[in-house]
Amino acid sequence: MRAYKRFLNYAKVNTESADGTGKSPSTDCQWDLAKLLVEELKTLGMKDAKVSEFGVVTAVLPATPGCEAAPALGFLAHMDTAPAFSGAGVVPIVHENYDGGDVVLPKEGRVIRLADFPEMATLKGRTLITADGSTLLGADDKAGVAEVMTLCEELINSGAPHGKLCVAFTPDEEIGEGPNHFDVPAFGAKYAYTVDGSKEGGIEYENFNAASAKVEITGVSVHPGEAKDTMENALLIAMELNAKLPPEEIPARTEGYQGFFHLDEMNGTVAFAKMDYIIRDHDMERFTQRKALMEQVVQEVQAAHPKAKLELTLRDSYYNMVGQLKDCMHLIENAREAARMAGVEPTTTAIRGGTDGARLSFKGLPCPNLGTGGYNFHGPYECVTVEGMDTVVAILRNIVALYAKTEA
């Protein structure tokens, strides 16, 4: 079965994760896809296919005769979709022979406009898959799941030489909790790749350092008619706090290696307000400075409003994996060669985000990231192409073939 056909099935299963539930997986719906994947792995003939008590799906394909000395190689993708936009009731739409222009989606008046997403022009002539405009598509990262599953099927059916192959499908990557309960020694791989990037042929081994910052503001609420010199409006204090952060250092005005402060959520009343930020930077020194600035701003606003109460909770989420991969650059070189073998010129960019692989690299499993062939993630304009997914499977197959010729 081609990868896109699997993807069309997976996309219809809601796996939206949710922050702050205190459980793993964070949402019960992720179990639905996990159980489906375990049964599919068993049907393909994968060994030891199972799902852990924390929703991590794993399976093994033993080495073919003569390749037992090759390093055990892992491939991972995540099952959950981003809570930033609804993942419930996804209706995938297949657009054959895409004309390279704007794509009108049937729901909610949404259009994938070339002016907003210029890279769409490069997909002209391909078979495009989108959602209907009312949900995200889930190519991030069900396209990766489908590609890894298809790789397993092709290796089993072809009998092509390969070393030991370990696969995993994880929950809760989108909320930064995917590796929380990932057992690296039990997984059994010496090296691994996450398949969780964008354009096919993309190879990523640098990512943001990341932290979350939660600010809780307790104001003083009184009747507005009697508020003079007494009221402390928590909402206005929140606005004041945000205004003290650098206005140009937000996601909409940064790119490349530029870091940012991102106000992800804010809600409240006069009496109480809550602000959730994410803080990002590739450089550790600048990352540390950003966290210090957030602390300074909270202190300044607290000093200006002594009758109110401000509480800041800062928590590191993950770190840039580049340092963990410096002694394993063969992972990058082999991925580049594999892409060229598949007819694609590889591209290397710094991830403006993170992957499970970043945290796994710090847990002792070197794990760069590969593209899935998807675009415009985390919203209703998300898409993937049939041809791009086929190419990714070919790249994965080539990586396996290259490592089959080496010894651990």
DSSP state of 354: -
Name residue, tokens 């033993």: 62
What does the radius of gyration of the chain's CA atoms come to, in whole angstroms?
A: 23
Q: What is the C-alpha to C-alpha distance for residues 214 and 328, in angstroms, rounded to an integer?
A: 36
N-to-C CA span, the chain: 32
| Contact between 373 and 322 (Cβ < 8 Å) | no
For residue 158, count CB atoms less than 10 angstroms from its CB and return exposed for 0-12, middle for 13-18, buried for 19 or more: exposed
**Helix then strand then coil, % of the chain, to nearest 5:** 35, 25, 40
List the catalytic residue out of 141, 173, 206, 281: 173
Tell me, yes or no, if 80 is annotated catalytic. yes
Q: What is the C-alpha to C-alpha distance for residues 367 and 345, in angstroms, rounded to an integer?
A: 21
List the catalytic residue out of 80, 140, 232, 390: 80
Taking Cα atoms as reference points, which of 56, 50, 63, 47 lies closest to residue 400? 63
What are the tokens at 324?
A: 């963990």
Q: Which of the residues are catalytic?
A: 80, 173
